[in-house]
Amino acid sequence: MKLQDAKIIVTGAAQGLGFHFSKRLAEEGASVTAGDVNEEGLARLASETSGAKGKVFTRRLDVANEADTAAFVDFAYEKMGGLNGLVNNAGILRDGLLVKVDRETGKVQKLSREQWQQVIDVNLTGATWMVRDVVSKMVENGQKGAIVNMSSIARHGNRGQSNYSAAKAALATNTKTWSHEFAKFGIRVGAVAPGMVETPMTQGMNQKARDGLVAMIPVGRIGVPEDIWLAVKFVLECEYFNGRTIDVDGGLSM
């Protein structure tokens, strides 16, 4: 896919990686429809990309709302005059140990169903509905293209992230599944799995835990959004890449 010909949806686009991906796509000349629940962030994205080669359209999007994803895809198709790609980036964290003992009271505490379900609803179910609705629209209109799912190296398992790890592992697995299902339509599916990257999400981490993780990265630094963009760009542009997940983690082993 040539990026100047791309008409791509980016989810979770109001900050962090999604914001960066949207800007870089627009700079390459792509048309982008950016969605997020954070409308203030979307307004900032629209402002910062107003002079780009490509056009950026924005609309509020809650990927956990099934009706919202379908309406958003219709909106994107109409605004861009077509649709040939998705960067499936929206995600949240609700970390917590499945079972722990309170240090002060000695009481056994359990991960709440709400913590579990919120992450699954956004990071897995919402991501799945986005793929379903985007591919459905592309197939209806005979358009080929590519899907990029944002997984994570946490898919291999990470303490305190049962919900997040499960969702990201499933998304990586379904990248393979969907690559087989959609091949007959000329639609490729790839995934990118970031390690630690400098975003608002990681900036909210406990500082001691953050420092410990950074110390484990062989390249000696935390990643930046541009590192991950290079992998996303590769998946979109390389017509021979399909059904695989690329780890971009500086060599970190969780």
Q: Which residues are catalytic?
A: 164
Q: How far apart are CA 156 and CA 53, in angstroms?
A: 39
Task: Quote the tokens at residue 174.
Answer: 């379904």
Strand-pairing partners, residue 108, are 101
Q: How far apart are CA 94 and CA 219, in angstroms?
A: 28
Task: Quote the tokens at residue 53.
Answer: 């080669």
Q: Which value, in Å, is the radius of gyration of the alpha carbons in the chain?
A: 18
Beta strands in 99-244 (DSSP E): 99-101, 108-110, 145-150, 187-194
Strand-pairing partners, residue 246, are 192
Task: Quote the tokens at residue 81.
Answer: 């005059």
Rounded (10°) angle between helices 39-48 and 16-27 = 30
**180: exposed, middle or buried (C-beta count within 10 Å: 0-12, 13-18, 19+)?**
exposed
Q: How far apart are CA 21 and CA 183, in angstroms?
A: 25
> If you count DSSP H runs as helices and E runs as strands, how many of each does the chain have, helices first?
9, 9
**208: exposed, middle or buried (C-beta count within 10 Å: 0-12, 13-18, 19+)?**
exposed
